[in-house]
Amino acid sequence: MQIRPEAPGDHQAIRDVLDAAFPGEDVTLLVDLIRAADGFDPSLSLVADLDSRVIGHVLFSPMTLGGHTVLSLAPLGVHPDHHGKGVGTALTETGLAILADRDEPLVIVEGIPAYYPRFGFELASRYGIDKPSDHVPDEAFMVKWLGPVDDRYRGAVVYPQPFHDAGAIGP
Ligand SMILES: CC(C)(COP(=O)(O)OP(=O)(O)OC[C@H]1O[C@@H](n2cnc3c(N)ncnc32)[C@H](O)[C@@H]1OP(=O)(O)O)[C@@H](O)C(=O)NCCC(=O)NCCS
């Protein structure tokens, strides 16, 4: 398996993986809207490629925290046929390593409280980083510091328009 940036020819395969990973949720709409928005960086949209088939995807995209642009991880999806084989781990760890190389200060995630701490994500509220909506459970809103904890990054996280348009803030 190879973790690599998405290519233009991967868009439909990514949609198929996300539809399978998130049945009944329109996560593909979120990815399509982020891809069309300012600040989208295809080198931060990573796919897990197994024998030239996309079996997983993770996207890091910009939002605002304390007036600074930061990156958030959303979504992460692995095709159910390949769960529990380290694909999500490989996508997440590769993405975090790329961001650390770019000297990004932190990454935000709204996600499964039992999954992300293994990568070093902690409760965002611990650092005065506020969730964007009361609909988001406290324990699901997390931060991973890639460098030293920095007090300039506190206050409310402001999600960009694609998250609102896709109804992707909170469960
Ligand atoms: C969550 C997801 C990305 C994990 O990917 P994966 O490739 O199956 O995960 P990995 O093989 O890297 O890691 C497996 C570990 O994650 C844990 N894990 C997987 N899904 C989990 C969940 N929903 N809640 C808690 N832990 C979970 C497994 O128990 C396993 O733990 P272990 O290593 O202690 O045995 C994948 O299950 C998925 O796409 N789920 C549906 C979409 C989703 O919920 N995405 C995350 C949104 S925040």
State residue 83's pLDDT score: 98
Please tell me the residue having the least CA distance from ligand 1 atom 23: 112
Beta bridge partners of 130: 156
DSSP per residue, 94-113: HHHHHHHHTT--EEEEE--T
Determine whether the shortest distance from the Cβ of 86 to ligand 1 is under 6 A. Answer: yes
Which residue is closest in CA terms to ligand 1's atom 21?
Answer: 115
For ligand 1, the distance from its centroid to the CA atom of residue 83, given in whole angstroms, is 7
Check if 76 has its Cβ closer than 6 Å to any atom of ligand 1. Answer: yes
**β-bridge mates for residue 3, sequence order:** 48
What pLDDT is recorded for position 169?
Answer: 80
Q: Are 35 and 7 in contact (CB under 8 A)?
A: no
Per-residue HEC secondary structure of 115-166 comes to CHHHHCCEEHHHHCEECCCCCCCHHHEEEEECCCCCCCCCEEEECCHHHHHC
Q: Which helix (H) or strand (E) holds 92?
A: helix 87-101
- pLDDT tens per residue across span 28-84: 999 999 999 999 999 999 999 999 999 999 999 999 999 999 999 999 999 999 999
Residue 126 half-sphere exposure toward CB, CA atoms < 13 A: 13
Q: Ligand 1 centre and the CA of 84: distance in Å?
A: 7
Banded pLDDT at 168 (limits 50, 70, 90): confident
Predicted pLDDT at 76: 98
Average pLDDT over residues 135-149: 96
Domains of the chain: 2-165 (3.40.630.30)
CA of 112 to the centre of ligand 1 (A): 8
**Residue 1, SS3 per DSSP:** coil
DSSP for 11-33 reads HHHHHHHHHHHSTTS-HHHHHHH
Task: Kindly state if the Cβ of 36 falls inside 6 Å of ligand 1.
Answer: no
CA atoms of 88 and 17, how far apart (whole Å): 12
Whether 112 lines ligand 1, by a CB cut-off of 6 Å, is: yes
Paired with 144 in beta bridges are 107
Is 22 close to ligand 1, i.e. is its CB under 6 Å away?
yes
Within 10 angstroms of residue 39's Cβ, the number of other Cβ atoms is 12
pLDDT per residue as tens digits for the range 90-138: 999 999 999 999 999 999 999 999 999 999 999 999 999 999 988 899 9
Q: Average the pLDDT over 84-89 and give the result.
A: 98
Q: Does position 149 have pLDDT exceeding 90, yes or no?
A: yes
pLDDT at 170 over 90: no
CA 7 to chain CA mean position, Å: 18
pTM, two decimals, is: 0.97
